[in-house]
Amino acid sequence: MIINKKVKKILLAVTILILFSTLVALQSCRVHKPSFKGTDLQKRNSLQGSGFSQKKLDDLSNYLKEKSATTGMVVLYDGQVVYEYGNVEEISYLASCRKSVLAMLYGKYIEDGTIDLSQSIGDLGIDEDDGLLPSEKEATVNDIITARSGVFHIPANGGYDEKNVLERGSVKHGEYFLYNNWDFNVAGYIIEQATGRSVYEEIEQQLAIPLGMQDWNIKNQSRKVNKSKSRYSAYHMYFSTRDMAKIGQLMLNKGRWNGKQLISEKWIDKITSVVTSVEIVNKRYGKNKQSEVQLSYGYMWWLIENLFNLPDMEGAYTADGWGGQYITVIPKRKLVIAHKTKLSTLTLWGLKPGGVDGWQYWEIVKRLLS
């Protein structure tokens, strides 16, 4: 039988995809067991006073089962579990929620002077193999962690706002908001350079151990390296839904946990304050003032300006990861929502739709709160 070149190419592509999917599947079976026991989240004995009814929560479960790709969801009210759905112990990809976690890690080193927000990346020796422009090296650490560096260099990983990338050297640092993974990857490098420890070691010491995470093992973490694009790797993170909920509760507690101030209240307030207005965010993503979900941007956290005109959203904010990974904090309701999906290999390659998109997640939140 004669097989033409086009068919051969298709068969080769399919074979490679199958092999890659198999390797990923095998890797997912090798999730390392927790490195320490951790502590259970306390479950609320009664829904009375929480603002929820059992019928409402049962209706939400039915919606998630029938209409959503949600694999894990935990809702905390006043620090206690009022709702769980799916496998909340499963370790999976956190996507861009990693950036919000990184913002938390900075607090300790800003407070003790190890990291100076006003220092330029040029002074820190940050450069690329193909060279950064002199104007790009003027970007400060503060610019980097607010996505305003003005460095339009390609990052090691995808999933950034390619549509709004400008010509290199066309804007001054601090002036232009761009959700570029180059900034976020450099932000991880700055922590590692300043401390002599990896981002993952910082998570373990600053968050996993003191919060008593139940599913943490540093061996489950893996960074994305592509030096042909950039020197600075993406520090991908893998968490369980219930451990994500603890991160959200620490934020809600203004950095305090079991009587100890793990992160300063001042820093929590800073990273959840508006740096890039809702008007600018709308402009970047083609929204308008009539959009039912209105977000601004702080220090690697998204701030909720409006959500379906629901009351009590003042001061609410969220970590947002592609495919349905979220840690949402609603202080006026004393609520934390941790939401996860487990993305397939085909979805991660962009070959198959999957996960939960932003609009469906906010619909889930609306059903929970309305």
pLDDT of residue 370: 84
Write out the two tokens for 255. 């950095």
pLDDT of residue 344: 62
Amino acid at 202: E
Q: What domains lie within the chain, and their CATH numbers? A: 54-369 (3.40.710.10)
- Residue closest to 108 by CA, chosen among 214, 210, 217: 210
Amino acid at 72: G
Write out the two tokens for 187. 């932000």
Summarize pLDDT for 252-299 with one digit per residue, the tens. Answer: 999 999 999 999 999 999 999 999 999 999 999 988 877 899 999 999
Q: How many CB atoms lie within 10 A of CB 314?
A: 11
- Residue closest to 340 by CA, chosen among 328, 348, 352: 328
Summarize pLDDT for 211-261 with one digit per residue, the tens. Answer: 999 999 999 999 999 999 999 999 999 999 999 999 999 999 999 999 999
Write out the two tokens for 54. 């059992």
SS (H, E, C) the chain: CCCCHHHHHHHHHHHHHHHHHHHHHHHHCCCCCCCCCCCCCCECCCCCCCCCCHHHHHHHHHHHHHHCCCCEEEEEECCEEEEEEECCCCCEECCCHHHHHHHHHHHHHHHCCCCCCCCECCCCCCCCCCCCCCCHHHCEHHHHCCCCCCCCCCCCCCCCCHHHCCCCCCCCCCCCCCCCHHHHHHHHHHHHHHHCCCHHHHHHHHHHHHHCCCCCCHHHCCCECCCCCCCCCECCCEECHHHHHHHHHHHHCCCEECCEECCCHHHHHHHCCCCECHHHHHHHHCCCCCCCEEEEECCCCEEEEEECCCCCCCCCEEEEECCCEEEEEEHHHCEEEEEECCCCHHHHCCCCCCCCCHHHHHHHHHHHHC
Write out the two tokens for 73. 């969801």
Write out the two tokens for 29. 């079976």
pLDDT of residue 206: 98
Rounded Cα–Cα distance for residues 121 and 110 (Å): 16
pLDDT of residue 25: 41
pTM: 0.90
Rounded Cα–Cα distance for residues 365 and 64 (Å): 11
- The distance between the two most distant Cα atoms of the chain, rounded to a whole number of Å, is 74
User: Alpha-carbon Rg of the chain, whole angstroms?
Assistant: 21
Rounded Cα–Cα distance for residues 290 and 305 (Å): 12
pLDDT of residue 290: 76
pLDDT of residue 346: 42
List C-alpha distances in Å: 107 to 187, 202, 311.
13, 12, 30
Residues of the chain with pLDDT under 50: 1, 14-29, 345-349, 351-353
pLDDT of residue 21: 44
